[in-house]
Structure 1
Amino acid sequence: MKKKPNLVKINRWQKFWTPARILVIGFASLILLGGILLSLPIASENGQGLPFHDALFTATSAVCVTGLIVVDTGTYFSTFGELVIISLIQVGGLGFMTVATFVLMFTGRRIGLKERLLIQESLNVSSMDGLIRLTRNVVLFTLAIEAFFAVILTIRFAQDFPLGRAIYYGAFHAVSAFCNAGFDLFGDFKSLADYVGDPAVNLSIMSLIILGGLGFTVMVDLGRKAVARKHRLSVHTKLVLIMSFALLVIGTLGYYQLEHNNPDTLAELPAEDQWLASAFASTTARTAGYASINYETMSESGQFWTVLLMFIGASPGSTGGGVKTVTTLVILLFVWTVVTNKEHTVVYRRTVSPRTIYKSLTIAVISAMTIILATMILVLTDGKEFLRLLFETTSAFATVGLSTNLTPVLSDSGQFVIMIMMFIGRLGPLTIALALAARANKQKGDVKYPDGNLYVG
């Protein structure tokens, strides 16, 4: 007689594999695979292989589309190593479930409910309606945008490098910029410093960063608007566009005001280049990681301004990190509602649900507490300047990748903290919390207790 399967064990096993846990384990597995590949002798120029902890750090930074590095990407890694890195960036930026779903669609395989739940969690959308079509559009839009700007960058880089290298550099940096990763191949940890006043490179990279940071649902919504003029943009899309534009303008003005007299950043540049560098800094601080000026020699006020912009980050459902633009705007609108003694938080004649407000506040509080805790740990383990440590931890959590050149000299324990911060930041603090928490027992009804008299403020 065949033994009947233990249904209790199977049920428990199925309950364990929640979408949040699958995403966490999936990203961790991808990082581990990337670390193994980058530690191989073939991945380095010297043929000796990168120590595994450094390889794992690099893989984490690539999969989490951050850009913080412990070895110089352009000079240390071989072509094989660079291709591994850009592949990890592309999969990490899109999300491994998005890529897997697109492959299944391409091969004609059926996509079940469990896969759809994973995609929904990965893309951070509220409904499963049209989810497969959205996934297809996300991948096609991404490849089209990357290809378009890869051509532009190739034309520009062809003036400085042989054609083959120009094509390679154009494709690499187009993917890295759109995924908000910030990895570059120019060597010596200098990022885009050689192109600080170059309009073609700056505007192309900025456009890629902005498009990648808007969010996939917003890009699809804008695509529909471009095709059908009568299509009405969603409230979410409008808020993302308004907040993104406002942050870009405010960030640019802030950098110019704080740094235009600093000879180590903007003061030595022509006036037009100062504005271009300020706009680039404002764009890249929102989770991209490319740098055209030196953040180590930036004023303390400029560094703290960068921390604030990094904390806000990109938009929901994008390749970027941070608490997100809409989250920040919802909190500001809620504060305004309380200050003006109104009952409901309203935007574009739509009421923001209490659940959305609570979620936004939870994300902001958990994010701030995580950054503070990580910074204090680094103060104890490495004892560097507090502001620079705060800068690095915020950059890691928001998956930005900007650095005051502190990450490569951190202790092993300090770099491990940065790795954890990148991982939490890419998946989101709520996803990590849901993955770690046991599934709550469903009660037949919610119990309403008497109100407690608490005094705040």
Structure 2
Amino acid sequence: MQSKIKSRFNLTYAKLSAIGFIIIIIIGAILLSLPISSKSGEVTPFINALFTATSATTVTGLVVYDTYSHFSPFGQSVILVLIQIGGLGFMIIATMFLLVLRKKIGIRERSFLKESVNTIHIGGVVRLAKHILVGTILLEGIGTIILSIKFSSEMGVKAGIFNGVFHSVSAFNNAGFDLMGRYEAYSSLTKYSSDTVVNITIMTLIVIGGIGFVVWEDIYKNKHRFQKYQLHSKIVLFTTALLIICSAIAFYVLERNNLLADTGVKETILSSFFQAITPRTAGFNTMDTASLSEGSKLLTMILMIIGGSSGSTAGGIKTTTFIITILSVISLVRHSNDLNIFGRRLEDNILKRAYSIITIYITGAFIGMLFISLIQPELALSDIAFEVLSATGTVGMSTGITRQLNVLSRFIVIILMFCGRIGSLAVVMAVAENKNNVIVKNPLEKIVIG
């Protein structure tokens, strides 16, 4: 099916991915705008339904309505499905249906699937897709059981199970949507800031979902034998651990005289680690984001830019891109032409791709900030920057201005969330694909840099 479409319309994976997500978002927006999707039984304005559908499909978590207070169980279920599709990627979902229907998966479908999960080799990609589906069901299932037991004691069995499923899927896919409006609107997980079970379960799901499918496969095959992991997996695991530990310490230092001033030791530790993990595209919060110190907000924005890992449910420039830029600085300082890590040398053109991703990402974010500042000058620039980076990194954290955005500003955020999920570089490649490859090179000439 996909091969016929591709041959007829000459679709690249970037274009197919963009079109696929647009279709899913529009269907979701139509469903969410229906009276059956709201608790009041009224039609939800389409721009707000589109915003919510985009936020769910791009696993961002920015909301213009409190999910529990505004949406009916049907609407909440639509959001849940959109999160799952958006987190796994529609190509994996499509592969699942092809496998169920026992349809042949051709070379082009495998090629699309390879790009969807960001794996290096096309061989074994269908097996990897199966493992991803099984792993997702297993991990979300474990999270659901733990959270359902916890929530059922407070909400009743039926509501507890639904909340367990919803928050497990939302956490694993790094979506950040919650149903805690039953206690206080837009409160996220602040009620559970000192709850060990909820914190550890949500944090574990976020981290596992954010390290990437390829890393899962590596861990599954090689278990604890770290030396046998692929270089990609080693970089991801090392960088993820380093960012979590360093960021948790930094948040404690920055908030010890602010939000953590009157908390106990357990809550301080849990809050510091949660705040270190959630900005890397999860979107939940156990502390009031608007009340964070300026230093903590800056650190949060830096983590939102970095994001999770390639081929995962997370957004941002990705951990591998981040570590490559650090390696390039080290290489330049040492007057070395190579990028070396874990006893391996990286390919020469990877730095060009990394800097292209960062440049497009930052440029898009600044353009978004500029336009929203022009449209709504009454909003503080720091809040706009936080909102834009949260949207571009598909994070979902906000200082509270999402509901203050007008229609035009909301549309800008919708575009940013979409580009953040598809990948800024992929979007540019889809729009500006050039088939006329230039064989003859221009004359070489040096310029001064720095």
TM-score category of the 2 structures, normalised to the smaller one: over 0.9
Name structure 2 gaps, 5 residues minimum. Answer: none
Which residue of 331, 334, 343 maps to 2:325?
331
User: In 1, are the aligned partners of 2:390 and 2:398 still within 8 Å (CA)?
Assistant: yes
Shift of 1:159: 2.1
Amino acid of the structure 2 residue aligned with 1:209: I
Q: Does residue 391 of the first structure (1) align with residue 386 of the second (2)?
A: yes
State the match for 1:83 in structure 2.
77
Shift of 1:353: 1.0
Shift of 1:298: 1.3
CA distance change for structure 1 residues 55 and 138 in 2, over 3 Å: closer, same or farther?
same
Amino acid of the structure 2 residue aligned with 1:404: T
State the match for 1:220 in structure 2.
217
Which residue of 198, 201, 214 maps to 1:201?
198
Map 1:55-454 → 2, pairs under 5 A? 55-187=49-181, 188-226=185-223, 232-262=228-258, 265-383=259-377, 384-443=379-438, 446-454=439-447
C-alpha separation between the residues in 1 aligned to 2:155 and 2:357? 45
C-alpha separation between the residues in 2 aligned to 1:137 and 1:12? 26
C-alpha separation between the residues in 1 aligned to 2:342 and 2:263? 42
Q: Is 100-109 or 306-315 further displaced after alignment?
A: 100-109
User: In 2, are the aligned partners of 1:314 and 1:322 still within 8 Å (CA)?
Assistant: yes
SS of the residue 2:291 aligns to: coil
Q: Is 139-148 or 432-441 further displaced after alignment?
A: 432-441
C-alpha separation between the residues in 2 aligned to 1:222 and 1:229? 8
User: In 2, are the aligned partners of 1:225 and 1:231 still within 8 Å (CA)?
Assistant: no
C-alpha separation between the residues in 1 aligned to 2:75 and 2:65? 12
Amino acid of the structure 2 residue aligned with 1:130: G
Shift of 1:18: 1.4
SS of the residue 1:22 aligns to: helix
Q: With the length of structure 1 as denominator, give the TM-score of the two structures.
A: 0.94
Shift of 1:231: 8.4
State the Cα deviation string for residues 333-381 of structure 1 (Å, max 9, x = none): 0111011101211112211112111111111111111111111111111
State the match for 1:456 in structure 2.
449
CA distance change for structure 1 residues 22 and 11 in 2, over 3 Å: closer, same or farther?
closer
Q: With the length of structure 2 as denominator, give the TM-score of the two structures.
A: 0.96
Shift of 1:449: 3.3
CA distance change for structure 1 residues 207 and 62 in 2, over 3 Å: closer, same or farther?
same
SS of the residue 2:155 aligns to: coil
State the Cα deviation string for residues 407-456 of structure 1 (Å, max 9, x = none): 1111111111111110000000111011101332245xx32333212011
Shift of 1:397: 0.4
User: In 2, are the aligned partners of 1:224 and 1:231 still within 8 Å (CA)?
Assistant: no
Q: Over aligned residue pairs, what C-alpha RMSD do you find?
A: 1.6
Amino acid of the structure 2 residue aligned with 1:255: F
CA distance change for structure 1 residues 411 and 11 in 2, over 3 Å: closer, same or farther?
closer
C-alpha separation between the residues in 2 aligned to 1:453 and 1:20? 34
Shift of 1:266: 2.1
Aligned length: 443
State the match for 1:48 in structure 2.
42
Q: Is 111-120 or 392-401 further displaced after alignment?
A: 111-120
Q: What is the percentage of aligned positions where both structures have the same residue?
A: 38
User: In 2, are the aligned partners of 1:304 and 1:387 still within 8 Å (CA)?
Assistant: no
Shift of 1:11: 11
C-alpha separation between the residues in 2 aligned to 1:103 and 1:291? 35
C-alpha separation between the residues in 2 aligned to 1:11 and 1:249? 47
State the Cα deviation string for residues 58-116 of structure 1 (Å, max 9, x = none): 00000000000000101111110011000000000000110110111122111122222
Shift of 1:289: 0.3
